[in-house]
Homo-oligomer: A and B are copies of this chain.
Amino acid sequence: MTRETVVDSRQEILRTAARLFQQRGYDATSMNDVAAALKLSKGGLYHHFQSKDEILFEIMNHAMEITDERVLNPVRAIADPEDRLRALIRLHIEVVLSPRDREITVMLHENHPLPPSLRKRINSRKKDYIHFLENLMAEVQNKSRHAHRAKAKVSPRAAAFALLGMINWIYQWYKPEGDLQAQNLIPQFTDLIFGGIFA
Protein backbone atom coordinates (compact mmCIF):
# COMPACT_ATOMS: atom_id res chain seq x y z
CA MET A 1 0.00 0.00 0.00
CA THR A 2 1.47 3.37 -0.99
CA ARG A 3 1.52 6.29 1.42
CA GLU A 4 -1.05 8.01 -0.80
CA THR A 5 -3.50 5.13 -0.44
CA VAL A 6 -3.07 5.09 3.33
CA VAL A 7 -3.80 8.83 3.59
CA ASP A 8 -6.80 8.45 1.28
CA SER A 9 -8.32 5.61 3.22
CA ARG A 10 -7.74 7.38 6.56
CA GLN A 11 -9.55 10.46 5.24
CA GLU A 12 -12.31 8.27 3.83
CA ILE A 13 -12.77 6.68 7.26
CA LEU A 14 -12.88 10.06 8.98
CA ARG A 15 -15.42 11.40 6.50
CA THR A 16 -17.72 8.38 6.84
CA ALA A 17 -17.39 8.33 10.64
CA ALA A 18 -18.19 12.06 10.81
CA ARG A 19 -21.34 11.51 8.75
CA LEU A 20 -22.50 8.62 10.97
CA PHE A 21 -21.75 10.57 14.18
CA GLN A 22 -23.98 13.40 12.96
CA GLN A 23 -26.80 11.19 11.81
CA ARG A 24 -26.95 8.88 14.82
CA GLY A 25 -25.04 10.72 17.54
CA TYR A 26 -21.45 10.03 18.55
CA ASP A 27 -22.10 7.56 21.34
CA ALA A 28 -24.85 5.71 19.52
CA THR A 29 -22.40 4.92 16.70
CA SER A 30 -20.14 1.93 17.31
CA MET A 31 -16.81 1.02 15.71
CA ASN A 32 -18.77 -1.84 14.10
CA ASP A 33 -21.15 0.68 12.49
CA VAL A 34 -18.21 2.63 11.08
CA ALA A 35 -16.54 -0.52 9.74
CA ALA A 36 -19.83 -1.75 8.21
CA ALA A 37 -20.50 1.57 6.47
CA LEU A 38 -17.01 1.39 4.93
CA LYS A 39 -17.33 -2.32 4.10
CA LEU A 40 -14.22 -2.88 6.22
CA SER A 41 -13.67 -5.68 8.71
CA LYS A 42 -13.44 -4.53 12.31
CA GLY A 43 -9.76 -5.51 12.18
CA GLY A 44 -9.28 -3.39 9.08
CA LEU A 45 -10.72 -0.38 10.90
CA TYR A 46 -8.63 -0.98 14.03
CA HIS A 47 -5.56 -1.14 11.79
CA HIS A 48 -6.11 2.59 11.18
CA PHE A 49 -7.64 3.80 14.45
CA GLN A 50 -7.41 2.19 17.87
CA SER A 51 -10.56 3.70 19.34
CA LYS A 52 -13.58 5.86 18.64
CA ASP A 53 -11.99 8.65 20.68
CA GLU A 54 -9.00 8.51 18.35
CA ILE A 55 -11.33 8.84 15.35
CA LEU A 56 -13.12 11.81 16.92
CA PHE A 57 -9.78 13.45 17.73
CA GLU A 58 -8.51 12.88 14.19
CA ILE A 59 -11.72 14.31 12.72
CA MET A 60 -11.32 17.43 14.86
CA ASN A 61 -7.63 17.64 14.01
CA HIS A 62 -8.43 17.29 10.31
CA ALA A 63 -11.04 20.06 10.66
CA MET A 64 -8.35 22.34 12.08
CA GLU A 65 -6.01 21.37 9.22
CA ILE A 66 -8.73 22.27 6.72
CA THR A 67 -9.12 25.63 8.49
CA ASP A 68 -5.35 26.22 8.34
CA GLU A 69 -5.07 25.29 4.68
CA ARG A 70 -8.23 26.95 3.39
CA VAL A 71 -8.49 30.01 5.65
CA LEU A 72 -5.37 30.90 7.65
CA ASN A 73 -2.60 30.16 5.15
CA PRO A 74 -4.23 32.00 2.22
CA VAL A 75 -5.01 35.11 4.30
CA ARG A 76 -1.53 35.37 5.86
CA ALA A 77 -0.26 36.38 2.42
CA ILE A 78 -2.57 39.43 2.26
CA ALA A 79 -0.79 42.64 3.25
CA ASP A 80 -3.68 45.00 3.96
CA PRO A 81 -5.40 44.16 7.29
CA GLU A 82 -8.90 45.08 6.06
CA ASP A 83 -8.51 42.91 2.98
CA ARG A 84 -7.12 40.14 5.19
CA LEU A 85 -10.16 40.26 7.49
CA ARG A 86 -12.56 40.36 4.52
CA ALA A 87 -10.83 37.30 3.03
CA LEU A 88 -10.88 35.46 6.37
CA ILE A 89 -14.63 36.00 6.78
CA ARG A 90 -15.28 34.83 3.22
CA LEU A 91 -13.03 31.78 3.34
CA HIS A 92 -14.18 30.68 6.78
CA ILE A 93 -17.85 30.88 5.76
CA GLU A 94 -17.03 28.96 2.58
CA VAL A 95 -15.40 26.16 4.60
CA VAL A 96 -18.39 25.99 6.95
CA LEU A 97 -20.82 25.82 4.00
CA SER A 98 -18.70 23.48 1.86
CA PRO A 99 -20.71 20.28 1.24
CA ARG A 100 -17.45 18.34 1.13
CA ASP A 101 -15.99 19.61 4.42
CA ARG A 102 -19.13 20.33 6.42
CA GLU A 103 -19.34 16.82 7.86
CA ILE A 104 -15.78 17.14 9.15
CA THR A 105 -15.80 20.72 10.43
CA VAL A 106 -19.14 20.46 12.22
CA MET A 107 -17.55 17.82 14.49
CA LEU A 108 -15.52 20.60 16.13
CA HIS A 109 -18.74 21.36 17.99
CA GLU A 110 -19.25 17.82 19.30
CA ASN A 111 -19.55 18.06 23.08
CA HIS A 112 -18.32 14.55 23.81
CA PRO A 113 -15.45 14.89 26.31
CA LEU A 114 -12.15 13.69 24.82
CA PRO A 115 -9.34 12.34 26.99
CA PRO A 116 -7.50 15.39 28.45
CA SER A 117 -4.31 14.99 26.39
CA LEU A 118 -6.25 14.90 23.11
CA ARG A 119 -8.60 17.70 24.16
CA LYS A 120 -5.58 19.87 24.99
CA ARG A 121 -4.16 19.49 21.49
CA ILE A 122 -7.45 20.51 19.83
CA ASN A 123 -7.96 23.41 22.23
CA SER A 124 -4.47 24.67 21.57
CA ARG A 125 -5.14 24.77 17.80
CA LYS A 126 -8.47 26.53 18.42
CA LYS A 127 -6.65 29.09 20.60
CA ASP A 128 -4.12 29.77 17.82
CA TYR A 129 -6.98 30.65 15.51
CA ILE A 130 -8.61 32.94 18.08
CA HIS A 131 -5.32 34.76 18.71
CA PHE A 132 -4.73 35.23 15.00
CA LEU A 133 -8.23 36.68 14.65
CA GLU A 134 -7.90 38.88 17.74
CA ASN A 135 -4.61 40.35 16.45
CA LEU A 136 -6.14 40.90 13.05
CA MET A 137 -9.14 42.72 14.56
CA ALA A 138 -6.73 45.00 16.48
CA GLU A 139 -4.71 45.66 13.34
CA VAL A 140 -7.83 46.50 11.35
CA GLN A 141 -9.09 48.85 14.06
CA ASN A 142 -5.70 50.60 14.35
CA LYS A 143 -4.44 50.80 10.81
CA SER A 144 -7.50 50.94 8.63
CA ARG A 145 -8.72 53.89 6.65
CA HIS A 146 -11.27 54.48 9.43
CA ALA A 147 -8.46 54.96 11.93
CA HIS A 148 -9.15 58.68 12.26
CA ARG A 149 -12.32 57.83 14.17
CA ALA A 150 -12.52 57.75 17.93
CA LYS A 151 -11.17 54.71 19.80
CA ALA A 152 -13.26 51.63 19.01
CA LYS A 153 -15.80 50.64 21.62
CA VAL A 154 -15.61 46.94 20.75
CA SER A 155 -12.37 45.25 21.86
CA PRO A 156 -10.50 42.99 19.40
CA ARG A 157 -11.14 40.05 21.69
CA ALA A 158 -14.91 40.58 21.90
CA ALA A 159 -14.99 41.15 18.13
CA ALA A 160 -13.05 37.92 17.50
CA PHE A 161 -15.42 35.86 19.65
CA ALA A 162 -18.43 37.55 18.05
CA LEU A 163 -17.26 36.69 14.54
CA LEU A 164 -16.41 33.11 15.47
CA GLY A 165 -19.84 32.72 17.06
CA MET A 166 -21.58 34.11 13.98
CA ILE A 167 -19.69 31.76 11.66
CA ASN A 168 -19.58 28.63 13.79
CA TRP A 169 -23.30 28.93 14.52
CA ILE A 170 -24.22 28.79 10.83
CA TYR A 171 -24.50 24.99 10.89
CA GLN A 172 -27.36 25.34 13.39
CA TRP A 173 -29.67 27.18 10.99
CA TYR A 174 -28.25 26.77 7.48
CA LYS A 175 -30.47 25.08 4.90
CA PRO A 176 -29.13 24.31 1.40
CA GLU A 177 -32.54 25.35 0.02
CA GLY A 178 -32.87 28.51 2.16
CA ASP A 179 -32.58 32.17 1.15
CA LEU A 180 -29.29 32.75 2.95
CA GLN A 181 -26.46 31.29 0.89
CA ALA A 182 -22.74 32.04 0.65
CA GLN A 183 -23.17 34.77 -1.95
CA ASN A 184 -25.50 36.92 0.18
CA LEU A 185 -24.44 35.73 3.63
CA ILE A 186 -20.74 36.62 3.17
CA PRO A 187 -21.30 40.31 2.29
CA GLN A 188 -23.89 40.70 5.08
CA PHE A 189 -21.72 39.17 7.81
CA THR A 190 -18.77 41.21 6.50
CA ASP A 191 -20.77 44.47 6.64
CA LEU A 192 -22.07 43.61 10.08
CA ILE A 193 -18.58 42.99 11.47
CA PHE A 194 -17.01 46.05 9.83
CA GLY A 195 -19.94 48.20 10.95
CA GLY A 196 -19.63 46.73 14.43
CA ILE A 197 -15.90 47.01 15.05
CA PHE A 198 -15.91 50.67 14.00
CA ALA A 199 -19.05 51.44 16.02
Contacts of A184 in B (CB 8 A): 155, 158
Known: A192-B158, A195-B196. A112 touches B165 (CB 8 A): no
Interchain CB contact (< 8 A) of A193 among B164, B167, B191, B196: B196
Interchain CB contact (< 8 A) of A192 among B23, B110, B112, B154: B154
A113 at the interface (CB under 8 A from B): yes
The 8 A CB mask of A158-194 against B (1 = contact, 0 = none) is 1101101111111011000001100011011101111
Please tell me if the beta carbons of B27 and A25 are within 8 angstroms of each other in the complex: yes
Provide the main secondary structure of the chain A interface. helix
Report the minimum CB–CB distance from A137 to chain B (whole Å).
11
The 8 A CB mask of A120-140 against B (1 = contact, 0 = none) is 000000000010000000000
Report the minimum CB–CB distance from A129 to chain B (whole Å).
12
A111 at the interface (CB under 8 A from B): yes
A66 at the interface (CB under 8 A from B): no
Please tell me if the beta carbons of A153 and B199 are within 8 angstroms of each other in the complex: no
A57 at the interface (CB under 8 A from B): no
Please tell me if the beta carbons of A25 and B169 are within 8 angstroms of each other in the complex: no
Contacts of A188 in B (CB 8 A): 153-155, 158-159
9 contacting pairs across A/B (C-beta < 8 A): A110-B111, A158-B185, A159-B188, A161-B180, A162-B166, A164-B169, A165-B166, A166-B166, A192-B193
5 new A-B contacts at CB < 8 Å, known A28-B113, A110-B111, A165-B170 = A25-B27, A154-B192, A159-B192, A192-B196, A195-B196
